[in-house]
């Protein structure tokens, strides 16, 4: 097996980098999440139900870093994944121990990605030849070798992959709650995607239509062994939808210029440079795609994925402005799973999202997780009045309002510990303060107008020096919870209330 990573002209990067790979993305997630260990990890540690699009973005971004990176970037991403997955372990609902570091589980997740690439080509009416499958699988295994997983767990050759898929489907996979959610529930409840733009008001009308079509497409495209085992019927309408979309997208992609057809890092070669390529499998001319390895973003740019937006609350009824702010903070910030309660999983999810896009060392990540764990311990000790191990909206609101009035150190002993960890992670250059750009990146999002962010920054930058210190940052959050009116600067973290 080659030790040279696939470059921008490789069959692997071209196939994975073609934008129509999105057609099999949901199929890929269903296959992966039908593994009981993967499903258990999601159930215990993921916020995919409340934040499905963030889950998809994380998956896509990690794939970009793994398969479109140089060796240094690849090793960094693998190390980051291992640090994250080390925390994902426990016991599932049937009493079975699980860990995200199980080699067999990791191999399954990787092989399903290769299988999805071949499925994309086959479903579009342009299946890869035996030689192309061998080439693609060889390039794929070169990347997988960096994971240092037992080689015997992988199918030996490309020709062995179908048997591996059938065997795993029949012997290991289960119709998990996560798989059912992906197929039949998640999109019917999902919030609007950030990129929907001006169509976002129409999302409640578009959502059931999109959910129905994606369910039909995914069921039609799943391997026959999977449909047979779990009694998922492929209707004639679904089969027609699959044929139309896959064939239509293949022909449409061939008409697009390369910068629209391929993601960054996937540059198609000329026919003479890759004699194994055929017009059916890889149409397109040579382009000067920039192989940035998925790391072309600036450190500040990667912070956009944190998405920890503080709400802009409104006074409602007889509730005070402060109570409205606290309730909004619970719903939009702390309750990451969206189930109406705060548990350790919510705080761990927040720490995970802080660390996910940042190039943090293991020590830095540990500090972030430790900060949020300290906050959770404080929440549990001061708010869980019924002792059920979780905190409701009523418990949270009552405890915060009473706590900040009674004890000047109430926030300092809990929330502030996590905020210090957040501030120091966001302070990517180690300057000791946040600039306006860092502030906008940290709190920005599709729901917040840039003018509001600029206003919020100016409110907190009391001395007008163009930067926010850690003390100013903490003071703003303190004011957010303690201010009696919305005119206090801290109540305007995201602009005018």
Q: What is the pLDDT of residue 419?
A: 92
Residue 358 — pLDDT band, cuts 50, 70, 90? low
Q: What is the mean pLDDT of residues 330-343?
A: 85
Q: What is the pLDDT of residue 353?
A: 77
Residue 322 — pLDDT band, cuts 50, 70, 90? confident
Q: What is the mean pLDDT of residues 239-263?
A: 95
| Per-residue pLDDT tens digits for 145-188 | 999 999 999 999 999 999 999 999 999 999 999 999 999 988 88
Least confident among 129-133, 246-250, 434-438, 476-480: 434-438
Across all residues in the chain, what is the average pLDDT?
A: 82
For residue 410, the tally of other CB atoms under 10 A from its CB is 21
**Is 150 within 8 Å of 1 (Cβ atoms)?**
no
Which segments of 124-180 does DSSP mark as H helices, in order?
130-144, 161-171, 177-180
Which residues lie closer than 8 Å to 321 by C-beta, 6 or more apart? 313, 315, 483, 484, 485, 486, 491, 497
Better-scored residue on pLDDT, 437 or 110:
110
Nearest-angstrom CA–CA distance, 175 and 31: 10
Q: What is the mean pLDDT of residues 319-345?
A: 85
Residue 150 dihedral angles phi and psi, to the nearest 5°: -55, 125
DSSP state, residue 145: G
Nearest-angstrom CA–CA distance, 225 and 170: 7
Q: What is the mean pLDDT of residues 416-444?
A: 81
| Per-residue pLDDT tens digits for 359-398 | 678 888 899 999 999 999 999 999 999 999 999 999 999 9
**Is 183 within 8 Å of 219 (Cβ atoms)?**
yes
Residue 298 dihedral angles phi and psi, to the nearest 5°: -75, 160
Nearest-angstrom CA–CA distance, 211 and 55: 17
Q: What is the pLDDT of residue 129?
A: 97
Q: What is the pLDDT of residue 315?
A: 46
Nearest-angstrom CA–CA distance, 82 and 72: 15
Residue 93 — pLDDT band, cuts 50, 70, 90? confident
Does residue 85 carry a pLDDT above 90? no
| Per-residue pLDDT tens digits for 31-75 | 999 999 999 988 887 777 767 776 777 777 788 889 998 999 899
Q: In Å, what is the CA distance from 261 to each residue of 161, 253, 254, 293, 353? A: 28, 6, 8, 18, 30
Residue 486 — pLDDT band, cuts 50, 70, 90? low
Least confident among 44-58, 279-293, 412-426: 279-293
**Proportion of the chain above pLDDT 90, given as a percent:** 48
Residue 336 — pLDDT band, cuts 50, 70, 90? confident
Q: What is the pLDDT of residue 134?
A: 97
Q: pTM of this prediction?
A: 0.73
């Amino acid at each position: 097996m080659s030790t040279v990573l696939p470059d921008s002209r490789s069959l692997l990067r071209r196939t994975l980098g073609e934008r129509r790979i999105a057609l099999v993305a949901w199929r890929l997630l269903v296959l992966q999440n039908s593994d009981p260990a993967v499903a258990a990890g999601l159930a215990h540690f993921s916020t995919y139900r409340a934040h499905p699009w963030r889950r998809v973005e994380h998956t896509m971004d990690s794939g970009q870093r793994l398969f479109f990176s140089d060796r240094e970037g690849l090793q960094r991403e693998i190390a980051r994944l291992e640090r994250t997955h080390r925390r994902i372990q426990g016991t599932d609902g049937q009493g079975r121990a699980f860990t995200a570091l199980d080699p067999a589980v990791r191999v399954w997740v990787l092989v399903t990605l290769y299988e999805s690439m071949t499925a994309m080509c086959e479903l579009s009416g342009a299946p890869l030849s035996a030689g192309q499958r061998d080439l693609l699988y060889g390039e794929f295994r070169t990347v997988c070798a960096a994971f240092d997983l037992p080689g015997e767990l992988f199918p030996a050759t490309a020709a062995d992959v179908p048997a591996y898929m059938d065997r795993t489907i029949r012997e290991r996979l289960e119709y998990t709650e996560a798989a059912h959610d992906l197929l039949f529930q998640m999109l019917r409840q999902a919030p609007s995607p950030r990129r929907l733009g001006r169509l976002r008001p129409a999302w409640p009308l578009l959502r059931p239509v999109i959910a129905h079509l994606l369910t039909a497409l995914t069921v039609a495209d799943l391997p026959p062994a999977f449909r047979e085992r779990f009694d998922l019927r492929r209707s004639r309408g679904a089969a027609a939808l699959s044929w139309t979309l896959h064939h239509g997208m293949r022909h449409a992609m061939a008409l697009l210029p390369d910068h629209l057809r391929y993601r960054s890092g996937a540059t198609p070669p000329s026919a003479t440079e890759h004699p194994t390529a055929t017009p059916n499998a890889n149409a397109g001319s040579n382009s000067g795609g920039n192989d940035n390895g998925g790391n072309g973003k600036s450190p500040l740019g990667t912070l956009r994925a944190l998405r920890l937006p503080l709400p802009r609350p409104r006074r409602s009824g007889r509730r005070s402005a402060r109570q409205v702010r606290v309730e909004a903070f619970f719903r939009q910030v702390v309750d990451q799973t969206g189930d109406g309660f705060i548990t350790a999983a919510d705080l761990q999810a927040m720490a995970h999202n802080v660390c996910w896009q940042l190039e943090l060392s293991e020590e830095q990540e540990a500090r972030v997780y430790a900060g949020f764990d300290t906050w959770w311990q404080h929440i549990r000790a001061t708010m869980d009045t019924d002792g059920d191990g979780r905190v409701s909206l009523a418990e949270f609101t009552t405890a915060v309002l009473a706590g900040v009035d009674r004890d000047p150190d109430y926030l300092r002993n809990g929330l502030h510990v996590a905020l210090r960890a957040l501030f120091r992670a966001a302070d990517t250059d180690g300057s000791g303060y946040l600039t306006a750009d860092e502030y906008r990146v940290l709190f920005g999002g599709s729901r917040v107008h840039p003018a509001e962010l600029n206003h919020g920054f100016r409110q907190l930058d009391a001395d007008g020096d163009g930067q926010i210190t850690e003390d100013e940052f903490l003071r703003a959050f303190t004011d957010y919870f303690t201010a009696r009116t919305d005119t206090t600067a801290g109540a305007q973290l995201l602009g005018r209330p």
